[in-house]
Amino acid sequence: MEPILGETIVLDFVVSAATGAAADADATPTCAVFEDTTDTPILTPTVTKRTGLSGQYRVTVAATTGNGFEIDKTYNVVVSATVGTVATKGVVGTFQVRTAATAAPTAAAIRSEIDANSIQLAAIVADTNELQTDWADGGRLDLLLEEAAAGFNPLEEPVPGAYAAGTAGAALGALAGIAAGTTRLPGDYPVDVRYRGTPPLGAIDRIIWATGKVWTYAYAADGKLSAVAEA
């Protein structure tokens, strides 16, 4: 038995004569409630006889803080009765008091909890609204998808939008110039390779480097490379 703190419980017990048959006590029995190892009762509730029932009694125990009851403590209910001048005693109940049950939260309480603890809720809503705008007809993401479907090539066509220097967007914006030969990346690397015959099977005739240097290749009658000169 585990009553909630503040609840009231009712315990029954039966008094018997020496023959074993149920019999009324010589006087109304008494009751004492003990807490854990404490040998002094914290409560002595009143015992009441069940009407019309021989030898049967009940005792009501109010497990309240006012009566000294505490959560997670164990209690023993002991009754004493005298039948035919013979004194008897017994434990009629043992229980532990538990925490009061928590009622189901209301919709308003749940909303209040969300507002109090979800500090990113406003940011999430703002991001969701922004995405809905981007995906809408004419939005940023919608336009990018339409350009991709139309065969947009950032290496050959201007990248839409303005890009600040030093950003990834600036690098993307420069790709078109690199492909057209108007923009050069740092370092010395070949930007134009010309062949004799069909590349890559034909022999190299000339290489133009990013720094402006031009190398020309000469071949002997047997087709072997004979000289490389810088123009």
Supply the pLDDT for residue 166: 46
Q: Count Cα atoms within 13 angstroms, Cβ side, for 111.
A: 3
Q: What are the φ and ψ backbone dihedral angles of 181, each rounded to 5 degrees?
A: 85, 5
Supply the pLDDT for residue 145: 73
Supply the pLDDT for residue 165: 46
Supply the pLDDT for residue 126: 74
pLDDT along the chain (231 residues), means of 10: 91 93 95 96 97 96 95 96 94 91 73 73 74 74 69 53 48 51 52 58 61 69 67 67
CA dihedral angle for residue 102, residue 106, residue 109, residue 113, rounded to 10 degrees: 80
pLDDT in tens, 76-120: 999 999 999 999 999 999 999 988 765 577 788 888 877 777 666
In the three-class reduction of DSSP (H, G, I as helix; E, B as strand; rest coil), residue 67 is classed as: coil
Whether the pTM exceeds 0.75: the reply is no
Question: Any idea where the domains of the chain sit in the sequence?
Answer: 8-96, 141-183, 190-230
Q: Is 105 left (phi over 0), alpha (psi -120 to 50) or beta?
A: beta
Separation between Cα atoms, residue 10 and residue 27, nearest integer Å:
20
Separation between Cα atoms, residue 35 and residue 73, nearest integer Å:
7
- Tell me the fold of 8-96: Immunoglobulin-like (2.60.40)
